[in-house]
Amino acid sequence: MSNTCTHLGCRVRWIEDQQQFFCPCHNAAFDKEGEVLSGPPPRPLDRYTVKVEGDQLFVLGG
């Protein structure tokens, strides 16, 4: 999942005790799946498809 807020592109951070991602730019909050809980973001956090082969991790796209 991307750590870039879908509102203005600020970086979100994980708040462990609240179990949510928080964007400090406009107080947006996202749940652990990236869904918007509050604030102005127009959509959830972007998600990426990943693939593991042996000891390598591949990010295939969003």
> In whole numbers, what is the pLDDT of the chain averaged over residues?
96
Of residues 17, 42, 52, the one with CA closest to residue 32 = 17
Domain contains 56: yes
Domain contains 8: no
- Domains in the chain, number: 1
How much is the pLDDT for 62?
A: 64
> Distance between CA 2 and CA 62 in Å, rounded?
9
pLDDT per residue as tens digits for the range 42-54: 999 999 999 999 9
What band does 60 get if pLDDT is binned at 50, 70 and 90? confident
- Please give the model's pTM, rounded to 2 decimal places: 0.83
pLDDT per residue as tens digits for the range 8-54: 999 999 999 999 999 999 999 999 999 999 999 999 999 999 999 99
Task: Indicate which CATH number applies to the domain containing 51.
Answer: 2.102.10.10
The pair of structure tokens assigned to 13 is 């951070």
Domain that holds residue 53: 13-61
Alpha helices in the chain (DSSP H): none
> Distance between CA 5 and CA 46 in Å, rounded?
9
Strands 36-38 and 13-15: unpaired
Domain contains 50: yes
Domain contains 7: no
Domain contains 22: yes
Domain contains 2: no
